[in-house]
Chain A
Amino acid sequence: MNCETCQLKELELEPTEIRDVLRCILHTIFFHRTLSLVRPKDVDCDFLEITYVQCGLPELEKEVDEKIDQFTAWVEKHPNRRSQICLSFFDEKQTPSPKRYSKSNSSKGLTNIGANALEETSTRRAALESSVNEVLFQIINFANEKKDHIPAIPDRIFNHEIMIPRFLGLCCPGPIHSSRHLGGHLSSKLIPLILEDT
């Protein structure tokens, strides 16, 4: 398939962090690829000290939240698996030629709670914030470096599709990694791909 691919950094997350991080990354992608008029809205992450920008489109927010809910449910049913989310933007003139963004996410649950759990949590949280920041700047760089293929400015958001793991076996051409982690860790990783049709 002749499309551009942008691979974002893998992230390992706890189940409680999935929603926060997914919303942050997905909305950042949408904010860069929604060239129509938007109402930028600053949103603070619940668990991370990160503020991202939403487009201010209620329907888009609802769609993203629904997909995240589905993904979260999938993760709960399939622990210890790396999973992937693909965000695709479609050009109406060239169908089916999906442009895809996919993002990486993983959940990790800690079963051993010790005396240094809080310190480990804060350290880990800081590292996660740094990783998420890297991913966000990756999105910025990709969005600015790869924009020649973007069609004319539309009056609405581009056609898109958010594919969560249970659909990936049917349509996503990218690799799906599955691994099993021991030691009481739940882990699911998503390999981010941005595929754009040229």
Chain B
Amino acid sequence: MASLSYSAGAGGGGRAGAELMVPQFLLKALHAILAVRSPRPHAPPPPAASAAFRRRDRWFHLPLHDPPPPPAAEHLPEPSLGEPLVVDVYLAPSGGGPDEVLERWTVACEPWPSPAAAAAVGEGLAVNRAYKRCITLLRSLYAALRFLPAYRAFRTLCPSGQVYNYEMGHRVGSFATPFSRAEEAAMRTKRLAPVETQLGRLVVSVQYLPSLAAFNFEVTSLASAAIITDYVGSPAAERMRAFPASLTEAAGPPFPQPSRRPNSWASPAPWPHTLGQPAKFSPPPAHYASPTPSPPTFGYLHSRFSGETAPMSIPQAGGGRGTVHHRNMSEPSRAFMFSPPSPKNVRGEAGMQESPTETSRSFKRADGIRMGDLYANLPSGSKIKDSRDESGRFSGVFSSSGSPRLGFSRSSSRLSMHDDTDDADFPFAVDDVDPDSRPGSSGGKDTGDQAGSSSHKSQDAAVGYLVHLLKSARPLRDSSYSSHTSRGESIEAGSTSSFMSRRTSDALEEFESFKEIRENLLARSRSRLQDSLDKP
């Protein structure tokens, strides 16, 4: 397995390195473009400074996991080496109408014209040298995306609770309809210095409108409000965790999973690992941890491609802005362009549309790697944050005072607090409990004849009694009481307080009984001690 190390320079290894590096560059370029040219319903949160890098992020030393690529990018075909990657960014009137291209990005690896040319140019070209130049090239692309006028339009159209009279969309493919003369004249072109690799020259260029003054952005309406029922702090969002089965067999079914809600503050990151699984509060998986500083190895790509899970679909809020994505998704004829174009297709809009057969063929591509697979773990930085947030949020349940469940007695809350740490850490001191002294206990035999062993036995019995008590304790979430019921109806103060008082009274009773047991045990110990001292 070759590695893209600093010392790699051999021709054979260089070509293998280039064959892995060039597709990665194309993908990264596409990700960088779509990240700031595809407005999404919810603005992603800024990346955490302490977010760990995944190995894939380290390609070209430029992590792009935040913001994640738009959902449409998951279904795009993998850019191939021989074909250019063409991305059209356009503005279209919200009410429908012809769109106008603001930018056309072209990222391509132009193969060498002949093997001799490739040998002459590529011979001795160290792959690490090409990789280093690709770093600079990608940085330039990343920066240029923000310097061009379309970026301001993107920022304007990004979610702000308003719907504008224009929508920004994109088309990705390997071919684009040539501009008309008038369009060509109105556009400017910037070409970045190409990078030579063993496979060809990596070229990045952009045709763009130098001014967007012709587009008068106006707010047409406010975005439709979305009622979020499971807001942070609501009972639906912060469910109490169940006791482990070892403590209470009478506990109800496991708590339902936290619903994935499209919070404006939450990153729209897929959670493939949490769906359908019990809530876990363990640290993030090891492979999400920050890798070593070395560049990614080639073998990493294969393993990642085979083991990825498909990301879940990101729920789209209502509103006009979402139609851009619907347009891209529901009109595959405009979403994909395939080469090679026949001359008759290079005409107006015909070249940008494809027949339904081609559409189905594109979706049925067996070879190649779906970009969705590559992007499956893209927002893992967000995943890390989300998992941590999830655990933090659940731990906050026990510290917040908003949930009525926290009105339980201290013993109950302490029990729940200890659930996630150690099942054996009982909140009560084991030595203080004597099940023999419990009123009505079946094991109440006087074992005063044998001081040491009987004391030990009584302590063991006390422990066993305590365990039995806890196992048979009433669950904190009574099956006759449903949190949904309390939430569905208006939570009346009377029912809540009576429920709380009932739980409190139960706990107080238990506390009193334990207190009696403890006093009995202490009395017994004192009497035994006295007896042992009195004995000759």
Contact = CB atoms under 8 A, between A and B. Distances in A.
Contacts of B62: 38, 40
Contact of A143 (B61, B64, B132, B136): B136
Given A144-B137, A152-B6, A39 B63 contact: yes
Interface stretch (A2-10, A29-37, A96-104): A29-37
B128 interface: yes
B369 interface: no
A53 interface: yes
A133 B155 CA distance: 18
A85 to B, nearest CB: 20
Contact of A144 (B58, B146, B192): B192
Interface in A56-101: 56
B392 interface: no
Nearest to A27: B143
A50 interface: yes
Given A35-B135, A38-B62, A137-B190, A50 B147 contact: yes
A136 B132 contact: no
A136 B147 contact: yes
Contact of B142 (A35, A36, A40, A56): A40
A140 B140 contact: yes
A150 interface: yes
A56 B131 CA distance: 22
Given A39-B47, A144-B140, A150-B132, A137 B147 contact: yes
Given A38-B62, A145-B193, A153-B61, A32 B139 contact: yes
B440 interface: no
B457 interface: no
A31 B139 contact: yes
Contacts of A150: 132, 136
A52 B139 contact: no
B132 A35 contact: yes
B507 to A, nearest CB: 50
Interface residues of B, number: 31
A144 B61 CA distance: 16
Contacts of A112: none
Contact of B136 (A32, A40, A53, A155): A32
Given A137-B144, A152-B128, A38 B136 contact: no
A28 interface: yes
Contacts of A28: 143
Interface in A1-51: 28, 31-32, 35-40, 42, 49-51
B293 interface: yes
A124 to B, nearest CB: 17
B6 A153 contact: yes
Interface residues of A, number: 29
Contacts of A53: 139, 142-143, 146
A147 B143 contact: no
B49 interface: yes
Interface string B26-59: 0000000000000000000001010001000010
A111 interface: no
A18 B293 CA distance: 36
A141 interface: yes
Contacts of A153: 6, 61, 128, 131-132, 135, 295
B260 interface: no
A141 B136 contact: no
Given A37-B53, A39-B49, A136 B133 contact: no
Given A133-B147, A141-B193, A143-B139, A38 B61 contact: yes
Given A35-B61, A140-B192, A152 B132 contact: yes
Interface string A118-160: 0000000000000001001100110111010010110100000
Contacts of A144: 136-137, 140, 192-193
Contacts of A39: 47, 49, 63
A103 to B, nearest CB: 15
Contacts of B295: 153
A38 B155 CA distance: 23
B26 to A, nearest CB: 17
Nearest to A35: B135
A39 B136 CA distance: 15
Contact of B143 (A32, A37, A152): A32
A29 to B, nearest CB: 10
- Nearest 4 pairs of A and B residues by beta carbon: A144-B193, A51-B146, A37-B61, A140-B140
26 contacts: A35-B61, A35-B136, A37-B61, A37-B63, A39-B49, A51-B146, A51-B147, A51-B151, A53-B142, A136-B143, A137-B144, A137-B147, A140-B144, A140-B192, A143-B140, A144-B137, A144-B140, A144-B192, A144-B193, A147-B133, A153-B6, A153-B128, A153-B131, A153-B132, A153-B135, A155-B293
Interface of A: 28, 31-32, 35-40, 42, 49-53, 56, 133, 136-137, 140-141, 143-145, 147, 150, 152-153, 155
